[in-house]
Amino acid sequence: MDEELTYVNDAGLRLDGRKVDELRPIKITPSVLTRAEGSCYLEWGRNKILVGVYGPREALPQHIQDPTKSIVNFVYRMASFSVPERRNPRPARRDIEISMVCSNALERALLVNRFPNTKIDIFTYIMDSNAGTRVAALTAASVALADAGIPMTDLVSSVAIGRAGGTLITDLTKEEEDAPDAVDMAFAMLPNTEEIVLMQMDGEITKAEFDELVELGSKSCKKVYEFQKDALKGKFKQNDESVN
Amino acid sequence: MESDSALWELKKEKVLAKMRENKRIDDRDFLQYRDIKIEQGLFQNAEGSCKVTLGETVVYAGVKMVPGDPYPDMPDEGTISVLAEFMPLASPTFEPGPPSKESNELARVVDRGIRGGKCLDSKALCIRAGEKVWVVFIDMYIANDGGNLFDAGSLASVGALLNAKIPKYEDDKLVQGEYSGDLEVKTLPILTTCAKIGNTIIADPSLVEEKAMSARFSATTLEDGRICAIQKGGAYSFTKDEVKRIMDISMEKGKELRNLLR
C-alpha cells in the first residue's frame, strides 16, 4: 500500500461507501441450468458463482455408502480465470478444505437420514471472485438444494465478517481483507434456529471482538436469508404463473 | 453410465422415428441451428470472457494472459493453451476429476481451429524475443450439456478472445488490473458440426440427436473460405459425397455464426 488507508471514515462509511454492517449487492437466480436437478447463479459484489445439484443418487463406488445416511458432497472449485493471476484448474488444498467444511455445514440442514446409501452432490464453481467466495458458494448451494426439492430443515445462510482498520465490519472486500490488521471470519448459520454450522477465521482478535462478531454474523446471515427466500419465492411465483 | 439410460433409448427411438418422416425431433429444419445467445465481458478477473447459450447447451470461456518463456524454436512467438472443463454440474454423467477423453477432444479441436486459422498473430504476442512472450490461456467451462459442445465451445472461445484485453507489463512485471490495449484478433474461425442419423445429415445436433447419430463431422472455416480444422467423430462412416456436402454446409453455417460474433 502506498499510503495508509482509512477503512472506515468519520461518517462511519467504508471504502466502497457501505456502512459497517451493510452487505454488498446480492442477486440470486435459481433454476438456471436444465440438466442439473437444482441450480443457482449468484452474484455477490463482484463474486459470481454457479451451482448445480444432483441427488440423492446412488453413492458409488459402493464402499463409500453409509447405511445410516446420505453423503453430502459439496465441491468448491475456482475457474482458472476467476482470480487476477491464472489458477491451475486442478483443485488446490484450499479448495478441498473449503469443500469439506461446507459439506458439514449443509449436512446439518439436510435430512440425510432419510436417504441411506446415497449421496447428494453440490458442485459450486467460482466464475469471478472478490473476497468471500466460500460464503457466497454456500449461500448459493442451499438455494440450489431447495430448487432441486431436496428436503431440508432450513436454508444455510452465510457471510464473512471481520475487522479492517480497527473496526468490525460485515462482508469484507478484497481491499479490506488486505488491511494490515485484517481479520476474516467465514460464518454460516441456520437462520431460523440460529445454529452456527460453519466458522473459520484468519487473523487475531480479542474475546470481546469475537463475541461482537458472532452477533454481527448472525444479524448479517438473516439479511442474506431474505435474499435467498425472495429468490426462491420468485421462482415458485413464476411457476404459478406458467400454470395459469 | 447415464442413470436413466432406458429413457434415453426411448427418446432415441423417437428421434429415429421422426427422421423416417423427414422431421427432426424438435421440428427444426435439417440444417437449422438452435437459438444462440452470446454474452461477452461477464467476468472482471478474466482478460476476456464469453458465455454461449446454444439451445440448452451453456458454455463459458475465459481468457487469461500470462508472461512466459518462448519455445526455443519460436523465440519471438507467443503461445496459446486451450483447455475444457466438463463441470460435473453440466450432466449427471460428468464426473469430477482429470479431463475425460471427450473434454480433451473438445479442447484439441477448438485449439486447432484457433491455431490453424491464425486467429491471433503469434508474433504480436512477443514481449521480448528469446526471453518473454505472452501465453494466452483459453479455458472453456461446460455448464449445461444440451449437445453440440464443439460449436458452443468454439464460439465461446473466439468470443472471449474478441473481448480480451492485454494486461499491462512493465519492468518485467504484470501490473494487476491494468491493460495496455485490446488483444488483436486477425480471423474468426468458426466451428460447425453436422451429424449423420440414418442417411440424413443434420446441423447442430442436440443431446438426444447425438445419442441417435452414427457419426459426426466438424469443420472450422474462415471468412475467406479456407478450412482450418476438421474432426470426424463417431464409430460410423461418411461417403465422399457426404463429406463434400458437409463442407459446403460448414461454409454456409460458418457465415451465419460469424455474423453473430460481429
CB–CB contact A123 B96 (8 Å): yes
Tell me how long chain A is. 244
| Cell 454457479, located at residue | A50
- Residue A240 reports pLDDT greater than 90: no
8 Å CB contact of A89 and B85: yes
Which of A46, A85, A86 is facing B44, going by the closest CB pair?
A: A46
Which of B89, B103, B142, B165 has the highest number of chain A CBs within 10 A, making it the mutation to test binding with A?
A: B89
Q: Which of residues 159-218 of B touch A (CB under 8 A)?
A: 174, 176-177
Say whether domain B10-261 belongs to CATH 3.30.230.70: yes
User: What is the tens place of the pLDDT at every residue in B110-146?
Assistant: 999 999 999 999 999 999 999 999 999 999 999 999 9
Query: Hunting for cell 458440426 — which residue is that?
Result: B193
Interface contact A82-B66, CB threshold 8 A: no
| β strands within A36-172, DSSP E | 38-44, 47-58, 71-78, 118-128, 157-164, 167-170
pLDDT tens digits, residue range B22-53?
999 999 999 999 999 999 999 999 999 999 99
* Contacts A59 to B, Cβ<8 Å: none
* A-to-B residue pairs, Cβ atoms closer than 8 angstroms: 100
Q: Hey, what long-range contacts does B123-126 have (CB within 8 A, 24 or more apart)?
A: B123/B76, B123/B77, B123/B78, B124/B78, B124/B184, B125/B77, B125/B78, B125/B79, B126/B70, B126/B76, B126/B77, B126/B78
CB contact under 8 A, B141 and A123: no
Considering just the CA atoms, what is the radius of gyration of chain B in Å? 19
pTM: 0.95
Choose the mutation target among B3, B34, B45, B176 for the interface with A, i.e. most A CBs under 10 Å: B45
Q: By the CB < 8 Å criterion, does A99 face chain B?
A: no
Q: Would you say residue A244 has pLDDT above 60? A: no
- Condensed to tens digits (0 to 9), the pLDDT of residues A32-87 reads 999 999 999 999 999 999 999 999 999 999 999 999 999 999 999 999 999 999 99
**Which DSSP category does A187 fall into?**
E
Residues in B touching A35 (Cβ below 8 Å) = 56, 89-92, 144-146
pLDDT of residue B3: 58
Give the helix/strand (H/E) hosting B41: none
Mean pLDDT (whole number) for B229-238? 97
Contacts with B46 from chain A: Cβ below 8 Å: 81-82, 128
Which pLDDT score, from 0 to 100, does residue B177 have?
Answer: 87
Chain-chain contact of B63 with A86 (C-beta, under 8 angstroms)? no
- Cα dihedral A163, A231, A137, A173 in deg (nearest 10): -30
CA–CA distances in Å: residue A220 to residues A194, B57, B214, B256: 12, 36, 55, 49
* pLDDT at residue number A1: 45
- Judge: B137–A80 Cβ closer than 8 Å, yes or no: yes
Q: What is the pLDDT of residues B184-222, one digit of tens each?
A: 999 999 999 999 999 999 999 999 999 999 999 999 999
Look at A34 and B66 and tell me if their CB atoms are within 8 Å. Answer: no
Cell of B58: 451453456
**What CATH number belongs to A26-237?**
3.30.230.70
- First-to-final CA distance of chain A: 58
- Give the one of B45, B47, B58 whose C-beta lies nearest to A129's C-beta: B45
Nearest neighbour of A81 by CB, restricted to B56, B62, B92: B62
* Burial group, residue B245, by CB count within 10 angstroms (0-12, 13-18, 19+): middle
Q: What is the pLDDT of residue B100?
A: 94
Q: Do A33 and B143 touch (CB under 8 A)?
A: yes
Kindly state the average pLDDT of the residues B164-184: 94
pLDDT at A237: 73
Q: How far apart are the first and last CA of chain B?
A: 40
> Cβ distance A193 to A154 under 8 Å?
yes
**Does the beta carbon of A118 lie under 8 angstroms from any beta carbon of chain B?**
no
Asked if A123's CB is within 8 angstroms of B177's CB, the reply is no
CA distance B88 to chain A (A): 7
Q: Give pLDDT, residue A4.
A: 73
Residue-wise pLDDT for A160-204, tens only, equals: 999 999 999 999 999 999 999 999 999 999 999 999 999 999 999
Q: Cell match 446471515: residue?
A: A221
Q: What residues of A are in contact with residue B58 (Cβ under 8 Å)?
A: 33
Tell me which residue of B94, B71, B78 sits closest to B138, measured CA to CA. Answer: B78
Q: Model confidence over A98-155: pLDDT tens digits? A: 999 999 999 999 999 999 999 999 999 999 999 999 999 999 999 999 999 999 999 9
B40 touches chain A (CB under 8 A): no
